[in-house]
Amino acid sequence: MNIGICGLGTVGSGTFNVLNRNTALINARAGANIQIVQIGARRDNPACDPTGVSVTRDIFEVVDNPAVDVVVELIGGTTIARELVLRAIANGKHVVTANKALIAQYGSEIFEAARRQSVMVAFEAAVAGGIPIIKTLREGLGANRIEWLAGIINGTSNFILTAMEEEGRAFDDALADAQALGYAEADPSFDVEGIDAAHKLVILASLAFGIPLQFDKVYTQGISKLELQDVAYARELGYRIKHLAIARQSEGGVEVRVHPTLIPGNSLIAEVDGVMNAIMVKGDAVGPTMFYGAGAGAEPTASAVVADIIDVARALNSAPEARVPYLAFSGANFNGTPILPIEAVHTAYYLRMSALDKPGVLTAVGSIMSDRGISIEAIIQKRPRPGQDHVPLIMLTNKALESDLMAAVTAIEDLDAIAGKVVHIRVEALDK
């Protein structure tokens, strides 16, 4: 089976190195002689030595090469990559990709084109790097009705939050460190604003719940506005703040959301620090499960890319209808369950407000919450600092409808005794 690699960056060089280092083992597992016959890359990468392999600066030459059986797309982006993948499919070639944005936004088009050509598209490396979560949802947990999944699936954001909590560093300072270490790009918005995690989550939600890919309906909130004091107050209450991607089967639809979240400090996923990733999945038969590992990097991601290449080799001689469906469910069996708007989500909340230090304020706030059916689980009221007449007032609520909570927040902000905006962060117990 002849491989053509498009892109020789971090993941491309890692894939080349793993394929070459473990050739005998990979071929024994695949039951085929897998060899790289061509590489398309705009520039060389000192991290690997492609001596003996044809290298072209024109990546489209790879997909048009009749000797190539499988195109490995590792260039990223959604413009040239989409054209490249669709052309490879039109040429009757199988495709392996690590491109989450491409699958999240154009997966339906790509899978339909592949179905018509009876070729395979594999994308394990698109979510959580070396963690085999796609194969787990598509195959290993196939007997289960998935109730929910929640994951730390962006290492950059997790690194920043870990630094904020453990070292007391402000967001901007922690971000600068992440950039210096190569964990964050010069423009970090893709990571810290949750777009990267949203791309990954829409793929996981489709696999888990049998719904079409719908990236435009994912609620996305980043961590750039998160304040150090909220990280500290969360810890005081027994929680840690993580940037979670959550998908849950709820009454009336599926929740698909990415946002900062308070989770109990004693939960397993709360202990996932730095650039590591973790995903929890709860199925009705298996119960809660957790998958942990490196979510990025040259060889962790290459591990998933090469595993997909092995899967393609194993299935080469199988009939198309006998292959595992791309998104776990055959196209005819996708269901019409809607993705719920964030206003229809039920969850608990952390609230922080600056309240005038005088009698009756807490009563007024409590009355607003009660009028909207929101009960309060815990309260922390700090003493005023010298010369100040406002104090931080922190609350944890029980589960409430988001629209009710936001109405309560608006009413609280209108009180004369409350200064500025009310900070609100969602809380998840991850136990039901």
Average pLDDT of every residue of the chain: 95
- For residues 183 and 256, the model is more confident at 256
| Cβ 98 vs Cβ 11: under 8 Å | yes
Model confidence at 26: pLDDT above 90: yes
CATH number of 133-294: 3.30.360.10
SS3 283: strand
Please tell me the predicted confidence (pLDDT) of residue 238.
95
pLDDT digits (tens, 9 = 90+) for 61-99: 999 999 999 999 999 999 999 999 999 999 999 999 999
Q: What is the pLDDT averaged over residues 389-399?
A: 94
* pLDDT at residue 331 is higher than 70: no
Q: Which residues contact 31 (CB under 8 A, 6 or more apart)?
A: 313, 314
Q: What is the pLDDT of residue 322?
A: 86
For residue 151, count CB atoms less than 10 angstroms from its CB and return exposed for 0-12, middle for 13-18, buried for 19 or more.
buried
**Cα separation, 174 vs 155, whole angstroms:** 13
Q: Is the pLDDT of residue 120 over 60?
A: yes
Q: Catalytic: which of 100, 200, 242, 282?
A: 200
10-20 mean pLDDT: 96
pLDDT band, very low/low/confident/very high, at 432 (cuts 50, 70, 90): low
Side-chain-side CA neighbours of 410 within 13 Å: the count stands at: 7
pLDDT surpassing 70 at residue 116: yes
Whether residue 333 has pLDDT greater than 80: no
Query: Span 177-196, mean pLDDT?
Result: 93
Q: How confident is the model at residue 415 (pLDDT cuts 50, 70, 90)?
A: very high
Say how far apart CA 41 and CA 222 lie, in whole Å.
33
pLDDT exceeds cutoff 70 at 251: yes
pLDDT of amino acid 283 = 97
**Checking phi first, is residue 383 left (phi over 0); if not, alpha (psi -120 to 50) or beta?**
beta
If you classify domain 2-130+298-333 with CATH, what class do you get?
Answer: alpha beta
**pLDDT computed for residue 335 by the predictor:** 79
* Range 160-168 contact pairs with CB under 8 angstroms and sequence separation of 24 or more: 160/184, 160/192, 160/223, 161/223, 161/226, 161/231, 161/241, 161/242, 161/243, 161/260, 162/273, 162/274, 164/226, 164/228, 164/231, 165/231, 165/232, 165/235, 165/240, 165/241, 166/273, 168/228, 168/232
Q: What pLDDT is attached to residue 385?
A: 79
pLDDT at 328: 87
Whether 140 shows a pLDDT value over 60: the answer reads: yes
* Stretch among 11-25, 257-271, 326-340, 402-416 having the lowest mean pLDDT: 326-340
Please confirm, yes or no, whether 200 is among the known catalytic residues.
Answer: yes
> Per residue in 35-50, pLDDT tens?
999 999 999 999 999 9
Please report, rounded to a whole number, the percentage of residues in the chain having pLDDT higher than 70. 99
Quick one: pLDDT at residue 265?
95
Burial class, 92, CB count within 10 angstroms (exposed 0-12 / middle 13-18 / buried 19+) = exposed
Q: Where are the domains of the chain?
A: 2-130+298-333, 133-294, 345-427
State pTM to two decimals: 0.95
Q: End-to-end alpha-carbon separation of the chain, Å? A: 46
The residue count of the chain comes to 432
- pLDDT band of residue 384 (cuts 50, 70, 90) is confident
The CATH number of domain 345-427, selected from 3.30.300.10, 3.30.70.260, 3.90.980.10, 3.90.1010.10: 3.30.70.260
Beta strand extents in 196-283 (DSSP E only): 219-220, 239-250, 253-264, 276-283
**pLDDT > 90: percent of the chain:** 90
| Residue located via tokens 């010298």 | 386
Is the pLDDT at 332 greater than 60? The verdict is no
Residue 75, pLDDT score: 96
Of the pLDDT bands very low, low, confident and very high (cuts 50, 70, 90), residue 372 is very high
How does residue 397 score in pLDDT terms, banded at 50, 70 and 90?
very high
